[in-house]
Structure 1
Amino acid sequence: MPDIASPLPIPASRVADVLKVAIDVAHRATRPELQGLEHVPTSGPFMLVGNHQLLGMQDLPTLVRELERRRGVRVRGMGDSFHFAVPGWRDLLIRMGAVPGTRENCAALLAAGEAVLVFPGGAREVYKRRGQRYELLWGERTGFARMAIEAGAPIVPFAAVGAEDRFDVLLDMDSRLAAPARAVARRVGRPDLGTLVVKGSGFAGLPGTDRLYFRFGAPIPTTPWSGRASDPDARAECRDLVRAEIEAGIAALRARRETDDQRALLPRVRHAISS
Structure 2
Amino acid sequence: MSSPLIQGSTMASMGKVFPPLVLLNPKYKPCYPGRVASRNTKSIIKNCFNEKYFVQEKLDPLWDDGYGSQTAQDYLEAAKDMIRPDNGPPRWFCPIESGPPIKNSPVLLFLPGIDGLGMGLILHHKALGKVFEVRCLHIPVYDRTPFEGLVKFATDAIRSEHASIPDRPIYLVGESFGGCLALSVAAFNPTIDLVVILVNPATSFNRSQLQPMLPFLEACPKELHKIIPYLFGLSLGNPMKMANVQVNSPLSPTKKLENLFLDVKSLVEGATLLADILPKETLSWKLKSLKSGAAHANSHLHAVKSEVLVLASGNDNMLPSAAEARRLLDLLENCKVRDFYHSGHTLLVEDGINLLTIIKGTNKYRRSKTHDFVSDFLPPSKSEFKETFDEHLGLFRLATSPVMFSTLENGKIVKGLSGIPDQGPVLLVGYHMFFGTEIGAIVEEYLREKKIVLHGVAHPEIFAENIEAPLQVISGFDRFRVFGAVPVTARNVFKLMSNKRHVLLYPGGVREALHRKGEKYKLFWPEKPEFVRMASKFGAKIVPFGVVGEDDLMEQFLDYNDLMKIPLMKEFISQRNTAISRVRGGTQITGEVGNQDFFVPGICPKIPGRFYFLFGKPIETKGREELLKNKELCNELYLQIQSEITRNIDYLLKKREDDPYRHVFERTMYRALSGPVHQIPAFDP
With the shorter chain as reference, the TM-score category is 0.7 to 0.9
Q: Does 2:596 align with 1:192?
A: yes
1:115 Cα deviation after fit: 0.3
1:129 and 1:195 in contact (8 A); partners too: no
Aligned partner of 1:183 among 555, 563, 574: 574
Q: Does 2:441 align with 1:62?
A: yes
Q: Does 2:437 align with 1:51?
A: no
Q: How far apart, in 1, do the equivalents of 2:450 and 2:380 lie?
A: 20
1:94 Cα deviation after fit: 1.7
1:76 Cα deviation after fit: 0.7
1:71 Cα deviation after fit: 2.0
- For 2:619, the aligned partner's letter is I
In structure 2, what is the equivalent of residue 238 of structure 1? 637
TM-score, structure 2 normalization: 0.37
Change (3 A) 1:145 1:259: same
In structure 2, what is the equivalent of residue 140 of structure 1? 527
Change (3 A) 1:32 1:183: closer
1:47 Cα deviation after fit: 0.4
Q: How far apart, in 2, do the equivalents of 1:241 and 1:4 lie?
A: 34
In structure 2, what is the equivalent of residue 118 of structure 1? 505
2:454 and 2:502 in contact (8 A); partners too: yes
1:34 and 1:213 in contact (8 A); partners too: yes
In structure 2, what is the equivalent of residue 150 of structure 1? 537
Q: How far apart, in 2, do the equivalents of 1:169 and 1:184 lie?
A: 23
Per-residue deviation, residues 136-166 of structure 1 (Å, max 9, x unmatched): 1113142121211121101011111113432
In structure 2, what is the equivalent of residue 205 of structure 1? none
Unaligned 5+ residue runs, structure 1?
203-207
In structure 2, what is the equivalent of residue 42 of structure 1? 422
Pairs within 5 Å for 1:220-235: 220-223=619-622, 225-229=624-628, 231-235=630-634
Q: How far apart, in 1, do the equivalents of 2:422 and 2:391 lie?
A: 24
In structure 1, what is the equivalent of residue 491 of structure 2? 104
Change (3 A) 1:167 1:194: farther
Secondary structure, aligned partner of 2:671: helix
1:44 and 1:115 in contact (8 A); partners too: yes
1:62 Cα deviation after fit: 1.0
- For 2:518, the aligned partner's letter is G
Unaligned 5+ residue runs, structure 2?
1-362, 364-369, 407-416, 469-473, 583-594, 675-685
Q: Does 2:495 align with 1:127?
A: no
1:182 Cα deviation after fit: 5.6
In structure 2, what is the equivalent of residue 18 of structure 1? 387
Per-residue deviation, residues 223-259 of structure 1 (Å, max 9, x unmatched): 4642433543233222111111110000010111122
Q: Percent of aligned pairs with the same residue?
A: 28
Secondary structure, aligned partner of 2:524: coil
2:540 and 2:621 in contact (8 A); partners too: yes
Per mean C-alpha deviation after superposition, the further-off stretch among 146-155 and 163-172 is 163-172
In structure 1, what is the equivalent of residue 129 of structure 2? none
In structure 2, what is the equivalent of residue 214 of structure 1? 613
1:161 and 1:213 in contact (8 A); partners too: yes
1:93 Cα deviation after fit: 1.8
Q: How far apart, in 2, do the equivalents of 1:226 and 1:23 lie?
A: 44
Q: Does 2:668 align with 1:269?
A: yes
1:65 Cα deviation after fit: 0.4
1:214 Cα deviation after fit: 0.6
Per mean C-alpha deviation after superposition, the further-off stretch among 184-193 and 159-168 is 184-193
1:159 and 1:214 in contact (8 A); partners too: yes
In structure 2, what is the equivalent of residue 169 of structure 1? 556
1:146 and 1:235 in contact (8 A); partners too: yes
Q: How far apart, in 1, do the equivalents of 2:461 and 2:603 lie?
A: 24
Q: How far apart, in 2, do the equivalents of 1:52 and 1:220 lie?
A: 20
In structure 1, what is the equivalent of residue 482 of structure 2? 95
Secondary structure, aligned partner of 2:544: strand
1:128 and 1:194 in contact (8 A); partners too: no
Matched pairs, number: 269
Change (3 A) 1:185 1:240: farther
In structure 1, what is the equivalent of residue 208 of structure 2? none
Change (3 A) 1:218 1:174: same
Change (3 A) 1:74 1:192: same
RMSD: 2.7
Q: Select the structure with the greater relative contact order (CA < 8 A; seq sep ≥ 6).
A: 1
1:74 Cα deviation after fit: 1.3
Structure label with greater radius of gyration: 2
1:199 Cα deviation after fit: 2.0
Change (3 A) 1:99 1:3: farther
1:197 Cα deviation after fit: 2.6
